[in-house]
């Protein structure tokens, strides 16, 4: 019985590890950090520089934390964001792309915007880092 339990542990550990390091999970973590307004974790989970292409206009930021203004986000009505679709588009040994559809909600749990974003991720030090986002249409980062 102990051998069976040990065998199951060895088989399941890589499965949990690979899920933890998946590009899709990295984007989910990134949204959690955003919802918690955790700028330090956002910077740690993203590559530097970070590039957004919003409405066809590319902008590079030294760190992701430089791209977002949470006070401005709240002034726009934002309270939190929720992912509706999280689909892996492409993955190789060093890069991945994840297609996300998400909504932003206000304090009354009403949708204030819904957006499609394709995130580019890269491997750095064995972890997936969100390196850039390609936004279909407009999306405020609280700075406008």
**Predicted local confidence at residue 144, as pLDDT:** 72
DSSP assigned state of 141 = -
**Predicted local confidence at residue 6, as pLDDT:** 39
Question: pLDDT averaged over consecutive 10-residue blocks of the chain (144 residues)?
Answer: 44 41 94 96 94 95 93 96 98 97 97 97 94 93 84
**Predicted local confidence at residue 86, as pLDDT:** 97
Mapping DSSP to helix (H, G, I), strand (E, B) and coil, where does residue 17 land?
Answer: helix
Instruction: Determine if the pTM surpasses 0.85.
Output: no
Give residues with Cβ within 8 angstroms of 19, minimum separation 6: 25
- How far is it, in rounded angstroms, from Cα 54 to Cα 123? 23
Domains of the chain: 2-136 (3.10.450.50)
In the structure encoding, which two tokens stand for residue 22, read together? 């998946």
């Amino acid at each position: 019985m102990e051998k069976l339990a040990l065998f199951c542990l060895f088989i399941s550990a890589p499965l949990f590890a690979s899920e933890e390091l998946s590009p899709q999970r990295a984007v989910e973590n990134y949204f959690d950090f955003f919802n918690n307004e955790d700028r330090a974790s956002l910077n740690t989970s993203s590559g530097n520089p970070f590039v957004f292409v919003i409405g066809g206009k590319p902008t590079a930021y030294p760190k992701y934390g430089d791209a977002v203004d949470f006070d401005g986000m709240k002034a726009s009505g934002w309270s939190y964001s929720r992912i509706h679709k999280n689909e892996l588009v492409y993955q190789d040994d060093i890069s991945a792309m994840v297609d996300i559809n998400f909504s932003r909600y206000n304090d009354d749990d009403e949708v204030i915007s819904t957006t499609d974003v394709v995130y580019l991720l890269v491997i750095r030090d064995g972890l997936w880092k969100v390196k850039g986002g390609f936004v279909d249409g407009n999306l405020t980062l609280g700075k406008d």
